[in-house]
Every structure is written in C-alpha cells, then in structure tokens.
Amino acid sequence: MNDYAVLHEPYAALVRVALRQASPEGAVVALDLAAGDGHKTTWLASVAQPGAWVLALDHDRTQIACRKSSGVAYLVADAHHLPLGTAQVDLIWCIAALHLFADRAGVLDEIQRTLRPRGTVVLAVAGDYWIRRRTWPAGSVPSAMQPPEPADDLGGTLRRTVEERGFADVRIAAYLLEAADQAIEVAWMPLVDAATVQLKTVSGATGVPGLPVNIGEPEIAAVLLIVSGRKRAG
C-alpha cells in the first residue's frame, strides 16, 4: 500500500460506494486521472464493462511503478496534456487530485476533449467545510438510495467550476466522512434538505417524514464531495 492508500483506508468503503453512485455502468474505455498507485483504478474497472480498456494515469513514475493490476494499463503523463485522442473515453475519475493541478480549468478542458459525447467525469474531493446538520425523525430512512443535492450550496463552488467548463447534467453529492463506517445514507442524510429528500418512517417512529426535526448551527466537518458531469452530445 502507498501513502494515499493508507490515508484513505478508513474511508475506502464510503468513497467506493459514493463513486459508484455517481458513475454510469458499462464504460468501454475508462480513465483514472491522477491515479496514484492505481489502487482505486480496480474499483473503476468494476463499474466498467467486462473487458473494458481501463487506464491509470499519473505524472509520478514512482506511484505508477508501485502496483500492477491485471486488466489495467498504466500511463506516466501530465493531466494538463493527456496523451489520448479526442472523444475516446466513456468515464473519467479524478480522485483527490483536482486541487493539485496548476491549471484546473485546463485539465477540465482536457477531460472534455478526451471524453466521448455524453461521457461522464466524476471528481472527488475531501476537506473541511461549513455545514448545517439536519436531524431527521427517528427511524427515518430515505426512499431512494441516491443522495439528492446537498443543502446550503455545499460544494457549490466546485459545481460551478465544472459547469463553467461546459459540462451538462452537473450533479453534486456530499457525504460526512465521520460516518464512513456506517450505512451510506447516514453519511449524506444530515446534509440534504427537506425539499429534496423523500423519507419513509418505519413503524413506531415519531416525527413527520420529510421534515427535519432540527437544523443545526453552522459547524465545520470533514466532507467528501462527488461532482459528476457529462460532455454535451453535440
């Protein structure tokens, strides 16, 4: 395991589910951009079509040299100048790396160039953010397992950055990292609003489904943000 794999390990299950929730299945060509040693590229391969061409790309040769998984091709290259043809890739993941790029807009433009029309980019970033924690009636469970947009414009700056580069269908999901070892909905439910979440209350619970019993005061918490967007069709 490299340093990133060790650092991310307590959150690995949450990050994996969150990435899968944002990713369409069946990619024929998939790219893990700034992949580090590629330990998450095997997750990408699991959402791609069997036999897909799955690439792990990083500019750090020592990272790429750490690991070799079957079914994954490894590339040493700079994210600002992808050594890939135009409109070749169905799905691109970029995890914990966007903040490291000298020219983020330029990398997003490279992602646009290399994606096929209607191809998907999924960006994951984690950090401390101001949140207001929603408390839901006891026993409430969401009727859909996909997280709706977070409340209070959480992640809005990142969303707008992606929209400004011309991506369509931009969606954002937010997860509390402190809940990484619990069911996935425990990580996103405190961050969404009544207008966006449909809840069911299990038998015997109190409270009104769909209305938070409390909205907390602003506080800082560690959050995983997942932003996805699609290249326009034409």
Q: Contact residues for ligand SAM (CB under 6 A)?
A: 4, 8, 34-36, 40, 58-60, 63, 78-80, 95-97, 100-101
CB of 35 to ligand SAM, least distance (A): 5
- Residue 91 or 197: the one with the smaller Cβ distance to ligand SAM is 91
Classified as helix, coil or strand, 104 is helix
Q: Pick between residue 58 and residue 149 the one whose CB is nearest to ligand SAM.
A: 58
Q: How far from 52 is each of 100, 110, 112, 121, 185, CA to CA, in Å?
A: 28, 21, 20, 17, 30
Quote the Cα angle for 179-185-122, to 5°. 90
Q: Which is nearer to ligand SAM, 58 or 90 (by Cβ)?
A: 58
CB atoms within 10 A of CB 176: 21
Tokens encoding 223: 């959050």
Our CB check for ligand SAM shows the closer of 61 and 233 to be 61
Question: At its nearest, how many Å lie between ligand SAM and the CB of residue 101?
Answer: 5
- Minimum distance between the CB of residue 80 and ligand SAM, rounded to whole angstroms? 6
Smallest distance from the beta carbon of 113 to ligand SAM, in angstroms?
15
Amino acid found at 196: T
3-state secondary structure of 58: strand
> How far is the C-alpha of 150 from the C-alpha of 120, rounded, in Å?
20
